[in-house]
Chain A
Amino acid sequence: QQQVKQSPQSLIVQKGGIPIINCAYENTAFDYFPWYQQFPGKGPALLIAIRPDVSEKKEGRFTISFNKSAKQFSLHIMDSQPGDSATYFCAASGGGSNYKLTFGKGTLLTVNP
């Protein structure tokens, strides 16, 4: 059972574009939704996270949009740069298992110059 579904699997945009990565979850007890960024050869690192009491959170060029009723959340990258090329993972936790993150399968983002 895949509890967090992520799409698309890969995404190519031009510099300055706004890539959008979507995730959907099934467990209504989830209450923490982070996004991790991973560069080749490195471990994932926390990029931005949101809790369900807000519908949007911005940190620099990165924005999470959260739709609790639809059980969906998405990552938007404004004014994307080649340096943003990486694999992005959404994740979720909560409901008594808040110490265990369940990850989506990842999205490989390529930003062309």
Chain B
Amino acid sequence: DAGITQSPRHKVTETGTPVTLRCHQTENHRYMYWYRQDPGHGLRLIHYSYGVKDTDKGEVSDGYSVSRSKTEDFLLTLESATSSQTSVYFCAISESPDRSGGQLFFGEGSRLTVL
């Protein structure tokens, strides 16, 4: 299994509070991603990173920010959580799409509930 650790694995918070999810990898892969998974919507890309300090938006980036100060860590922040952000969040990594064919390795997910 790819060395990907997400923390926390479960979190319950209240509307309006800030939340940070952490993804840590030990594979030294260049690309890192945050997806959210919701029933009926599948997996949707929030943000991704293609290197240290290099990030870009995905299809559902509103209300989320990310940071990557080290190769191994990719943080997802909800500045002011809303109930619509209740979801399961998955971090994924990829070595190099050209070499690996685009294979993503996923973490085990972080379940966030916003009350």
Contacting residue for A103 out of B4, B31, B43, B102, CB 8 A: B43
Say which one of B66-74, B77-85, B106-114 lies at the interface with A: B106-114
Q: Is A7 an interface residue (CB 8 A)?
A: no
CA distance A56 to B97 in the complex (A): 21
Q: Are A103 and B108 touching (Cβ within 8 A)?
A: no
Residue of A51, A98, A100, A104 with most chain B CB atoms under a 10 A cut-off: A100
**Which residues of chain A come closer than 8 Å to B35, judged between CB atoms?**
103
A25 at the A/B interface (Cβ < 8 Å)?
A: no
Interface size class, chain B: 20 to 34
Against B, the Cβ 8 Å flags (1 = close, 0 = not) of A88-113 are 01000100001111111110000000
Given contacts A41-B108, A100-B45, A101-B104, 17 further A-B contacts (CB under 8 A): A9-B40, A32-B97, A41-B109, A43-B108, A43-B109, A44-B43, A45-B106, A99-B31, A99-B97, A101-B45, A103-B35, A103-B43, A103-B44, A105-B40, A105-B41, A105-B42, A106-B42
A sample of 17 cross-chain residue pairs with beta-carbon separation below 8 angstroms, ordered by A number, consists of A9-B40, A42-B109, A43-B90, A44-B43, A44-B90, A45-B105, A46-B104, A49-B101, A49-B103, A51-B101, A89-B43, A99-B50, A99-B102, A100-B48, A101-B104, A103-B42, A106-B43
